[in-house]
Structure 1
Amino acid sequence: MKVEIWSDVVCPFCYIGKRKFEKALAGFAHRDEVEVVWHSFQLDPNSEPLPGQSIHDSLAKKKGVSVDEARSMGEYVTKAAVEVGLHYDFDRTIPANTFLAHQLIHLGAHHGKQDATKERLMAAYYLEGQNVGDLDTLVKLGTEVGLHATESREALTAGTYANAVRLDEYQAQQIGVRGVPFFVFEDKYAVSGAQQPELFAEVLEKVYDEFKPKLTLVADGAVCGPEGCD
């Protein structure tokens, strides 16, 4: 079974949704048969963060609200994150354009480390106050999940996976993704948002039952089994 997930590194509900989906997947009897593929989605592809700008300032400007109101929004999301074991630190969070970060995730996928790269970048952004739009920071984070520093730097500098990011975003447009996280199961069923683990579990069961191989018995005759022959 294939599950494709569109998300952004700097989307707070994407990280929460990742945890909720992971909980559902951990309890799914056929989890070893599930392939999870992460797709790029930039909430603000044209963002140009200013040096020293806080996430509260950035959100206030983007939403057209006061800094205090932006801070309150952050507090609401922080509470939601705590429920899944994540402790966001918005006071340390550094606004970033995620185009390079998504390219690093594609490099991680090339080496079978896509989920590990995605997780490391999200933790760096939301929990540790690291700049995931900075080349040197991304190279360092890549090495922490087993990517080679020289290869990472060369790939990000050359834009080796830039088109892969753009293709993900194009595909999102084609299937009508308007917000993330966005989960697609076997190219047929979609779940939008950081839903509860119970809902993800229900969808996993439904999709598996529908798409698992089914045999049609066309002849029934004498057979032998563990308890003897008929």
Structure 2
Amino acid sequence: MKVDIWSDTRCPFCFIGKRNFEKALQKFSQNDKVVVNWHSFQLDPNMKTDLSKNHYEYLSEVKGFPMAQIMQMHENLIQSGKNAGIDFNFDEVKVSNSFKSQMLVQFAKEKGKADEMEELLFEAYFKLGKDIDDVEVLSEIGEKMGFSKDEIAKSLQSKELSELVNNDITEASNLGIRGVPFFVFNQKYAISGAQPTHLFSEVLEKSWTEFSENDSKLKIIEEGDSCDVEGNC
């Protein structure tokens, strides 16, 4: 059984959704028969990396809200993160374009290590305040996974990997995906947003027992907290 996940490495709900899904997958009796396929997505392809601003300052500027209001708006998000075992450090999060990091995910995907790469990129961005648009930072992350600096450097210059990122983004658009995380189970059932673990468990079971090749229309089971292309999180 295949689960396709569209995610942006700078999306906090994608980090939460990953953790909640993985908890459900761990409990699933047929988890050894599930293939997780990560797909690239960019919430803001035109974002320019700006290390002079943190996450709160950037959103305050983009949305036109006072800093205090932006920080208050994040209280529930921070608590949701804690519930998933994540300590978000938004004061240190750097404004970084995510395209290069998506190329690194595609590289790791070819090596069968996309799950681990996603986790390390999320941690670097949301917990350690790293610039995930920086080649040196991405090289350090790659080296933690056993890749060489030369491998990482080549991957970040690869036209093929760049095309894979863009192909994923195009596929998401064709499916009508405008927010992430977005989970598709066996090309039939979909979950939008960082849903609780029990819902992922229910859909895993449903997909395993009810999948019908004669019914290929995508059905969204639930829509929840996510980040969208309009800049709403």
TM-score by length of 2: 0.88
What are the equivalent positions in structure 2 for 1:170-189 lying under 5 Å apart?
170-189=170-189
Q: Which amino acid aligns with 1:135?
A: V
| Matched residue, 1:114 | 114
User: What is the match of residue 157 of structure 2?
Assistant: 157
Indicate the residue corresponding to 1:6 in structure 2. Answer: 6
1:140 maps to 2:140: yes
Q: Which amino acid aligns with 2:11?
A: C
Aligned to 2:81, the other structure's residue is in SS state helix
In the other structure, the counterpart of 1:167 is 167
Amino acid at match of 2:122: M
Q: Which secondary structure state, in structure 1, belongs to the residue aligned with residue 143 of structure 2?
A: helix
Query: How far apart are residue 212 of structure 1 and its match?
Result: 9.1
Structure 1 runs (4+) greater than 6 angstroms displaced:
none
Letter in 2 for 1:95: V
Deviations 1:151-182 (A, max 9, x none): 11122034441110000000000111011000
The answer as to whether partners of 2:17 and 2:195 remain within 8 angstroms in 1 is yes
**Which ranges of structure 1 fall in alignment gaps of 5 or more residues?**
214-230
Report the equivalent of 2:192.
192
Structure (1 or 2) with the larger CA radius of gyration: 1
Does 1:91 pair with 2:91? yes
Q: Structure 2: which amino acid aligns with 1:67?
A: M
Give distance in 1, aligned partners of 2:185 and 2:86.
26
Q: Does 1:81 align with 2:77?
A: no
Percent identity, aligned pairs only, is 40
Is this contact kept in 1: 2:51–2:96, CA < 8 A? no
Q: Aligned-pair distance for 1:195?
A: 0.8
> 2: distance between equivalents of 1:148 and 1:113?
15
What is the deviation of 1:65? 1.2
Is the 8 Å Cα contact of residues 94 and 125 (structure 1) preserved in structure 2?
yes
After superposition, the CA RMSD in angstroms is: 1.5
Kept after mapping to 1: 8 A contact 2:51/2:95: no
Q: Separation in 1 of the partners of 2:173 and 2:56? A: 29
Query: Contact (CA 8 Å) 2:93, 2:130: kept in 1 or not?
Result: yes
- Unmatched tracts of structure 2, length 5 or more: 214-233
2:219 corresponds to: none
Which position in structure 1 is the counterpart of 2:202?
202
Q: Give SS of 1:122's match.
A: helix
Query: 2:72 corresponds to which residue?
Result: 72
